[in-house]
Amino acid sequence: MIGLISATAAGAAARDRLAAAWPDRVRVYDGPVGDSVRAAFAECGQLVCFLATGAVVRLVAPLLGDKESDPGVVCVDEGGRFAVSLVGGHGGGANELALEVGELLGAQPVVTTATDAVGVPGLDTLGLPVEGDVAGVSRAVLDGETVELHLEVGWPLPALPSNVRRPAVDAAPTRRGGPAIHVTDRLLGTDRQLGTDRQLGTDRLREAVRQTEADRLPEADRQLGTDRLREAVRQTEADRLRDTDRQPETDRLPETDRLPETDRLPETDRLPEAGEARVVLRPPSLVVGVGASRGAPADEILDLVRRTLHDAGLSPQSLGELATVDAKADEPGVVEAAGRLGVPLVTYSAEELAAVEVPNPSDAPLAAVGTPSVAEAAALVRGGELLVPKRKSERADGRPAMATCAVVRRAARGRLAVVGLGPGARDLLTPRAKAELRRASVLVGLDQYVDQIRDLLRPGTLILESGLGAEEERARTAVAEARKGQAVALIGSGDAGVYAMASPALAEASDDIDVIGVPGVTAALAAAAILGAPLGHDHVAISLSDLHTPWEVIERRVRAAAEADIVVTFYNPRSRGRDWQLPKALSILAEHREPTTPVGVVRNASRPDGSSRLTTLASLDPATVDMMTVVTVGNTATREIAGRMVTPRGYRWQENPEGAR
């Protein structure tokens, strides 16, 4: 929720514009400004204050706690000229909110966060859990220092500056403390050691509490000892144990509750201990398959999952989902475990799981739910590397285990965004298209289209451009880059799904990458807006280029449109080497329409050198048309009204439309 606070009539007017535009996102705070700010700060995730910046600074300063949890605050001046991201630019989303407010109110967004100011993505804005010295590494990136990028787990990332680079295979290791970014699902050595020590130290002290309570000591001594030990438990749970307080290796997890040595990731393959100026990004690359008996407690499942990840040196921050069989979709313990872990629960049919080859099939799940494997098969059903085979839970009372789990690392799914750039005008490029261009680390496109949006790309974007006639090659290139785990944008003019790049790209792609379509304003729509409303009823777009379609097929489609009395927009109407198709198409339409039928001709719609004119079916000279032109031919109801081309929404006009002819 966004809290809106104002102090004057001018501020209230701007505030009400936001409230009207975002009725489900905002809450208006009235009354004394100080009380309103304090209430909104406590109750909302973001604030927009229509006040002087200095006043907002004084009001929120005593309220600030932690940048990860404080709400984002945007300050808008009384004149509505500037939308200033004041507090919580990344953590509170104030930078994005300032952009939204600016767009809605016509104000200039003011964002001073260093990374945003120079077009570099913030390490804490990549959509992945982040650990380590974010500020230090970000500063190194901005200062142009060499920052090593260790992609142990490939994952789609936006473009990073050229000074962020992967080290050569034979390069010497980064100096200790040198800036580095690790993308991994593994625990650093320190993290794993401390996790074990904290848990085992706590377990040891809890046992001491139980012993003290059971001993036959004088009441006062027993209570004093218990109180002291309870405080020790609290301290152990809250703080890291020092090296001198850690248990010896022999006192750690019993071997029955630890992975066999052969199942663990080798220590030599682990990341070095995190030092100064290092950041770890945690991709959601791990899938834990879970099997459970009816009535399995959530705590037993959670303990199994957490211990399994810990023993394998894997971070719970990289857990992407729990997976199981459909029959367990409503098993309370499984559902609760997924909720407490904060990940989705994904289920598969027994038939799907039974088809997965696993190392440890069993008769028990086959009899119970119809598949010889649940944990391993559910983890593996969508592919990946089995890191931890099936493991059973341990119960303190010695009763049979009620849960099993297995861990798989899935390969990174690359991301291909097929982006429509619109007809050419920058203000007709959609916000979503801009966001996808900024998100991409690789851009693939026709050279002249790349030039249109080059300034929108982040520093470090890999640009793969080519000339006319290489459409299929560009499609293959884009898909190949996405299969490497990259975030790729494949661009086309207009809407990328209309006579553009979406079709060849999707013909190359399979279900091993994510594909996102970003719609754009087509040339037909841009031309129609210039002409008036020629597409007010049924209409069709037909390309007259026979490069990919035989003319016999094109002619049949034109004839069908003519007979059906549908408005027709012709793409690719004429080129230097192809000049007879448009006259032929017009003659077919003329067999079914009057010579006075309005025709709109628009060249380079929406661009600075664009032009348009209205003519008739009989008067159009095909020689005045080229490949940059869109020709729209009306139906029998289309009229010219006050210099505009209009097709009625119904099958007939209203009575005596003024100015119609």
What CATH code is carried by the domain that includes residue 55?
A: 3.40.50.11220
**Residues whose CB falls within 8 Å of the CB of residue 575, separated by 6 or more in sequence, listed in order:** 545, 626, 627
Helix then strand count (H, E) for the chain reads 20, 29
Average pLDDT, integer, range 426-435: 93
pLDDT at 541 over 60: yes
Q: Is residue 294 part of a domain?
A: yes
> Could you say which of 521, 537, 568 is where a domain stops?
521
Same domain, 230 and 297: no
Asked whether residue 279 is domain-assigned, the answer is no
- Please indicate, yes or no, whether residues 379 and 454 belong to a single structural domain of this protein: no
**CATH number of 463's domain:** 3.40.1010.10
Query: Which of 112, 136, 153 is the C-terminal boundary of a domain?
Result: 112
Cβ proximity of 182 and 281 under 8 Å: yes
Evaluate whether residue 655 is within a structural domain: no
460/392 same-domain check: no
In a domain, 269, yes or no: no
596: CATH: 3.30.950.10
Mean pLDDT of 512-541: 95
Asked whether residue 486 is domain-assigned, the answer is yes
What pLDDT shows up at residue 191? 52
Examine the domain organization and report whether 438 and 393 are in the same domain.
Answer: no
Claim to verify: residue 535 and residue 462 sit in the same structural domain = no
Per-residue pLDDT at 611 exceeds 80: yes
Sort residue 302 into left (φ over 0), alpha (ψ -120 to 50) or beta: alpha
Pair (355, 463) in one structural domain:
no
Q: How many domains does the chain have?
A: 5
Domain encompassing residue 424? 415-521
* pLDDT the model gives residue 657: 52
Co-location of 377 and 394 in the same domain: yes
Q: Output the furthest CA–CA distance in the chain (Å, rounded).
A: 113
- pTM of structure: 0.68
Q: Decide if pLDDT at 471 tops 80.
A: yes
Of 572, 619, 579, nearest to 600 by C-alpha is 619
Could you identify the residue written with the tokens 């790049």? 501
Question: Which residues on neighbouring strands pair with residue 150, listed in sequence order?
Answer: 182
Average pLDDT over residues 641-654: 82
What pLDDT does residue 658 have?
54
Q: Please tell me what DSSP assigns to residue 361.
A: -
- Give a yes or no: residue 272 inside a domain: no
Q: In this structure, what CATH number is given to the domain that contains residue 288?
A: 3.30.420.180
Let me know whether 402 and 425 are in one domain.
no
494 contacts 481 by C-beta, under 8 angstroms: no
pLDDT over 60 (residue 263): no
* DSSP character at residue 164: E
pLDDT at 203 exceeding the cut of 50: no
Assess whether pLDDT exceeds 50 at residue 440: yes
Position 184 in a domain: no
Average pLDDT over residues 498-515: 90
> H or E stretch including 618?
none
Last residue of a domain, one of 112, 141, 170: 112
Task: Please report, for residues 447, 470, 477, 479, 504, the alpha-carbon distance to residue 490 in angstroms, rounded to integers and kept in the order given.
Answer: 12, 13, 9, 9, 11
Average of per-residue pLDDT across 17-35: 90
| Bridge partner list, 405 | 290, 391
Average pLDDT over residues 304-331: 95
3-class DSSP state for residue 70?
coil
Same domain, 13 and 99: yes
> Which pLDDT score, from 0 to 100, does residue 256 have?
36
- Bigger pLDDT: 618 vs 124: 618
Task: Tell me which amino acid residue 22 is.
Answer: W
Instruction: Give the ranges where 94-143 is alpha helix by DSSP (H).
Output: 94-105, 114-117, 134-142
Q: How far apart are CA 443 and CA 489, in angstroms?
A: 5
Same domain, yes or no: 531 and 583: yes
Band the pLDDT of 426: cuts 50, 70, 90.
very high
Q: What is the pLDDT of residue 163?
A: 83
47 and 10 in a common domain: yes
Residue 518 has what pLDDT?
95
Q: What pLDDT, on the 0 to 100 scale, is given for residue 257?
A: 39
Of these ranges, 79-88, 210-219, 514-523, the one predicted with the greatest mean pLDDT is: 514-523
Q: Give the pLDDT score at 383.
A: 87
**Calpha distance 168→149 (Å, rounded):** 11
In a domain, 361, yes or no: yes
Tokens of 111: 């964002």
- pLDDT of 50 above 50: yes
Residue with tokens 């077919």: 588
**Pairing mode, strands 629-633 and 598-603:** antiparallel
In this structure, the strands spanning 278-281 and 108-110 are unpaired
Judgement on whether residues 344 and 455 belong to the same structural domain of the protein:
no
Buried b (16+ CB within 10 A) or exposed e, 383-420: ebebbbbbbebeeeeeeebbbbbbbbbbbbbbbbbbbb
Give residue 595's pLDDT: 96
**For residue 573, which of 592, 599, 594 has the smallest C-alpha distance?**
599
Give the percent of the chain with pLDDT over 70.
83
Cα separation, 77 vs 55, whole angstroms:
11
> Distance between CA atoms of 144 and 282, rounded to whole angstroms?
24
